[in-house]
């Protein structure tokens, strides 16, 4: 009888260790995914001053928008560990970039400039990479949060203080809307 009790206890310990290791692995995947987003955001932050300079060379009197984008870039580059805060800053920065490209629409000769077109293509590629990194991050957050909140792993996560992570979300309702395409 003692052997059976010891065997059940040993199985329970092995099971709990497995759950703990799974939670640790998920937590590291979330950190890795966030690091991937940071790399892509850094690329975008490094590219924006080049785009602004090309646009500035065409029209000097749009200073307010340039100042706003520069300020938003600085805020977005701030080292913050709070995912919600970082997400909000990046959403504001994305909105500023959209305003910059809306300005460009008013200047057909700028839209045809080779330097601007190259920078725009690079930015589009980086934005796509950011989107993929966000999806991966949100997937790893989903997996971690599911493990933290479902039975029996929620018992282990509670005992060892594993916390749910925040999703990297879009803030602006306009980014959630389907574009109105007229033919």
Confidence at residue 1, expressed as pLDDT on a 0 to 100 scale: 87
pTM for this entry: 0.72
Confidence at residue 58, expressed as pLDDT on a 0 to 100 scale: 63
Confidence at residue 174, expressed as pLDDT on a 0 to 100 scale: 42
Whole-angstrom distance, CA of residue 183 vs CA of residue 180 = 10
The tokens 């109105």 sit on which residue? 180
Whole-angstrom distance, CA of residue 91 vs CA of residue 173 = 11
Whole-angstrom distance, CA of residue 123 vs CA of residue 118 = 9
**Phi, psi values for residue 112, rounded to 5°:** -95, -5
**Structural domains for the chain:** 2-159 (1.20.1440.20)
Whole-angstrom distance, CA of residue 181 vs CA of residue 173 = 18
Taken in order 92, 95, 101, 106, the sign of the CA dihedral is negative
pLDDT tens string for the chain (183 positions)?
A: 899 999 999 999 999 999 999 999 999 999 999 999 989 988 888 888 887 777 776 665 466 777 778 888 888 887 677 888 888 888 888 888 887 777 777 777 766 677 778 888 888 888 899 999 999 999 999 999 999 999 999 999 999 999 999 998 766 444 544 444 343
């Amino acid at each position: 009888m003692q052997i059976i009790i010891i065997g059940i206890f040993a199985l329970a310990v092995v099971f709990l260790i497995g759950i703990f290791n799974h939670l640790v692995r998920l937590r590291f995947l979330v950190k890795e995914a966030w690091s991937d987003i940071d790399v892509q955001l850094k690329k975008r932050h490094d590219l924006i001053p080049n785009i602004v300079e090309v646009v500035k060379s065409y029209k000097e009197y749009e200073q307010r928008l340039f100042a706003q984008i520069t300020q938003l870039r600085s805020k977005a580059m701030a080292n913050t560990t709070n995912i919600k805060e970082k997400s909000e800053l990046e959403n504001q920065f994305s909105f500023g970039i959209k305003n910059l490209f809306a300005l460009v629409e008013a200047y057909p000769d700028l839209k045809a400039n080779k330097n601007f077109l190259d920078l725009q293509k690079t930015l589009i590629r980086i934005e796509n990479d950011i989107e993929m990194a966000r999806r991966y991050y949100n997937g790893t957050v989903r997996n971690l949060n599911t493990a933290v909140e479902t039975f029996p792993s929620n018992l282990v996560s509670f005992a060892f203080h594993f916390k749910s992570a925040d999703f990297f979300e879009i803030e602006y309702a306009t980014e959630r809307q389907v574009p109105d395409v007229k033919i």
